[in-house]
Structure 1
Amino acid sequence: MSIYTEQDAKAILDKVIKLSKADECTAQLGGSIDGNVRFARNAVSTSGIVSDANLVVQVAFGKRVGTATINEFDDASLEKVVRRAEDLAKLAPENPEFMPAIDKQTYKPSATFSESTAAITPDFRAKVAADSIAPCKEEKLVAAGFLEDGQSFVAFANSKGNFGYQKSTNFNFTCTVRTEDGSGSGWVGHNAKDASSFKADEDIRIAMKKASESVEAKALEPGKYTVILEPAAVAGLVGFMMFFFDARSADEGRSFLSKKGGGNKLGEQVYDPRVNLITDPWHAEAPVLPWDEDGLPRERMAIIDKGKVVNLDYSRFWAQKQGKKANATPGNLIMSGGTKSTGELVKGTQKGVLVTRTWYIRMVDPQTVLLTGLTRDGTFYIENGEIKYPIKNFRFNESPVIMLNNIDELGKPVRVQGDESSTVMMLPPMRLRDFTFTSLSDAV
């Protein structure tokens, strides 16, 4: 059994806390049942279900910390993992940034569990693969994709009486479709709260259309262009940028949010006034756990308000040192936008480039968040509100900070998951001015 009820999970954690002889003890029990199906060259290649559960015990003697993990939960095993953690703590050097276990908290549950997603069967996964492959075969296209779904739980407790328990589900589908000769490529992704909203035979048509229409791509000179980034492309850039909202790195001069002479840019205008970004664990379309990895309660919190940075991520240690309030690490990112779809943004564009998604993004300069990466799986030239022809992929050198100061128009936000993190995001398609493409890429 890998999905424990709240009662059963608490019984195990209570035993662990009681067994510990350390100054303090924190234990986390988690488990999951994850299913998947992978297909390539129009045939299923792998499929499976993985069920697992594990217990992590962390103890402290003063500022000496030890951690041990186990996946057996009988009484003898529980005592063994506690003693192992204690032995490691006694051998460990003192941690100068040690923070004691948090006090008892109150958590407001969030709707992270979907019955339809938890009820997914091998037949469901097989149908997703079949509904993706069959239309491609008919059109002489080649599909390769991956569906990953699962249900899980997490429970934690500490020697100060804090306890939390919640169940979650996840659902993520991606598919790349190519022409038989490999000259055209299209992509579609679907990250869903509820599996009942997903229809593979509809989503696959998006990737098929892009694959068919991206053959015989023309070369366009590198330079600065008006671009329309689809939400998946936005996620790669904005998701990367959010790694630098840590208050400590900003205060220590290691971030684009650092001020010359010391301090950070909290409260300053950094982006276009149309940029509004919040985190909200109870968001109807993108709910997440109501606590972070330290057990701090998450709250609905503005991060960027009308282009101003209004909150940074203060860890418990750094908040104490700076005399600030610690805040929970965001579990999701919600960006406001307009009402238009990507297609409607295209219709309003005189000249520009449509980017399906970004890929292989890497850091160039952390002080400006200058990133480099490639466009992929469908890049098109727009003229007079229409897609005129496919173009070869580009390498870009662009900072999402500059990008979010060159906004022409924002579309309607949709749910996506970033390539660089598992953070769930609601992001709009964007039409942007002066996006920098530095060279061509022959890859499709």
Structure 2
Amino acid sequence: MMRAHLQALAAALGALLREGEGYTLWLEAERTDFVRFNHGKVRQAGAVEQAYLDMRLIRGQRQATQQLSLSGGPDDMALLEAALPELRAALEQVQDDPFLLLNEQPQSSERIAQHALPPAENMVADILAAAEGHDLVGILASGQMSFGFANHLGQFNWQQGESWNFDWSLYSHGDKAVKRSQAGTAWDGAALRGAIDEAAGQLEWLKLPAKTLEPGEYRAYFTPSALGALLNMLNWGGVSEKEVRSKRSPLLKLAEGEVKLSPLVHLAEAGGEGLSPLFQREGFIRPERVELISGGEHRNSLIDPRSAREYGLQPNTGSMEFAEAMQLQAGDLPRDQALQALGTGVYLSNLWYLNFSDRSACRITGMTRFACFWVEDGKIVAPLGVMRFDDSLFSLLGEQLEALTAERELLVDAGSYGGRATQSKLLPGALVKSLRFSL
């Protein structure tokens, strides 16, 4: 329904344009069920249905944009008609944008995923059954998300699909908990039960006295979630062409060939397998896959249309130059052998408060969080006291990287401020020979 509605709005708007004017329309819509859990019970449930349209008017190198909230009904056209003179007036006040670049070769597309989720009630029933007897807290978000684009050149793009995201923790006592997240486009109640059972097993270790380590270097295993916290930092300009050209990228030394990572590192932006649309706000179609790092060497950066205009390149991403569907190639270490391979060291489930301590060296500092453990001879023996680490990704993903797990986990941003997030990562776990703890 919303697809046809956007097409009708685009056609009607096109008929109102004056000579020399153009437009783009960008639609984000969702129908989402939200369920909040606490103490293993449903505490709040609700549903959100919303659609927001960014209407941009263009004349030459000038642009002005207004966001509209759509109902999906006939009144929406009146909103566009009211916004049009306001945008025309705004164009008289703004200057030419020298870096404005719009797709002028129409490429229409449609991708409608066939995955069908069960009703939210069924998903909730699976969660409650798996969480019985545990203090589970979390938020389930599930439903359909749609994205659309149209412009005055007749281009029309549409993507629609269903997905779910369950961000949850099992609480133990005090500040002790096991935090996990699961997501996907198909519901798997058995996998959810397995994850909750595994987390429940870790609760027993959290009851033991915490192990306090002296500052120093230790062998470490990062779960996909912990590794994801580190790789999130690369979206702070690390994969951006603009930041590389401006000499501000934390991966600048890698991009310029001054350093190399481990041959095990193959990092890509896999837009064709993510939740975000392959088209973007300026009408360009993103590649299905962009190799960022191959065999430890820099291959490409992400280039938005503005950088493409400034540096004479072809755009390959949206407007923010960050990875929306990051993938790290799996290794050959079976996940169930990770502790044995670690031997003696730290098992890191979750990290937080991350920041750059030395951006030029890609050095990151942060804190251990939920369910981090001290391991001896391949067995967890104690929870780890809160520690601060400070180390470089050039080292952790370079000479110190020993292995990556054969299995990967899909991690989806649980954010819902203004709308459900679509940023995702598909990551293995990582075993490193040395991680430096400073406090």
* TM-score using structure 2 length: 0.88
Residue 231 (structure 1) aligned with residue 229 (structure 2): no
Q: Please give the residue correspondences for 1:12-411 in structure 2 after superposition, counting only pairs within 5 Å.
A: 12-21=9-18, 23-72=21-70, 73-74=74-75, 75-107=77-109, 112=113, 114-116=115-117, 119-121=118-120, 123-136=121-134, 142-179=135-172, 181-182=173-174, 184-196=176-188, 199-215=191-207, 216-243=209-236, 244-258=238-252, 265=255, 270-283=260-273, 286=274, 288-299=276-287, 300-329=289-318, 330-405=323-398, 406-411=400-405
Structure 1 counterpart SS, 2:349:
strand
d(CA) in 2 for partners of 1:308, 1:165? 35
Give yes or no for the alignment of 1:426 onto 2:414: no
Deviation at 1:363, TM superposition (A): 3.0
Equivalent residues, number: 420
- Deviation of residue 236 (structure 1)? 0.8
CA displacement at 1:435 relative to structure 2: 1.0
Letter in 1 for 2:409: V
Counterpart CA distance in 2 for 1:53 and 1:249 is: 33
Q: In structure 2, what residue type is equivalent to 1:120?
A: P
- For residues 151-189 of structure 1, the C-alpha deviation after alignment (integer angstroms, 9 at most, x for no partner) is 12111111122210110222111221122x426421221
> What SS does structure 2 have at the residue aligned with 1:81?
helix
The whole-number CA distance in structure 1 between the counterparts of 2:257 and 2:105 is: 30
Alignment gaps of 5+ in structure 1: 137-141, 440-444
Closer/same/farther in 2, CA of residues 349 and 281 from structure 1, 3 Å limit: same
Q: Distance in 2 between matches of 1:208 and 1:374?
A: 23
SS in 1 for 2:342: coil
- Work out the CA distance in 2 between the residues paired with 1:129 and 1:197: 8
TM-score normalised according to structure 1 size: 0.87
Task: Mark the runs of 5 or more structure 2 residues left unpaired by the alignment.
Answer: 416-420
Structure 1 residues 249-258 or 347-356, which shifts more?
A: 249-258
Letter in 2 for 1:150: G
CA distance in 2: counterparts of 1:336 and 1:43, whole angstroms: 37
Q: Provide the rounded CA distance (Å) in 2 between the counterparts of 1:423 and 1:53.
A: 19
Query: Aligned partners of 1:301, 1:126: CA distance in 2, in Å?
Result: 37
Contact 1:132 1:143 in 2 (8 A): no
Mapped to 2, the partners of 1:256 and 1:184 lie a distance apart of 33
- Offset at 1:17? 2.8
Matching of residue 7 in structure 1 with residue 4 in structure 2: yes
Taking structure 1 as reference, are residues 83 and 270 closer, same or farther at Cα in structure 2, changes over 3 Å only?
Answer: farther
Percent identity (aligned): 21
Shift of 1:308: 0.8
Aligned equivalents of 2:390, 2:39: Cα separation in 1: 33
Q: Which residue of 1 aligns with 2:418?
A: none
Measure how far apart 1:353 and its partner are.
0.5
Task: Please give the root-mean-square deviation of Cα atoms over the aligned residues, in Å.
Answer: 2.5
Q: Distance in 1 between matches of 2:104 and 2:356?
A: 35
Aligned residues of 1:38 and 1:46 also touching (Cα < 8 A): yes
* Distance across 1 between alignment mates of 2:112 and 2:332: 25
How far the C-alpha of 1:110 sits from its partner, in A, is 5.1
Q: Deviations over 1:252-286 (max 9, x none)?
A: 11113336xxxx82567531111011223333xx4
SS in 1 for 2:271: coil
- Hey, what's the Cα distance between the residues in 1 that align with 2:276 and 2:28? 16
Q: Secondary structure at the match of 2:426?
A: strand
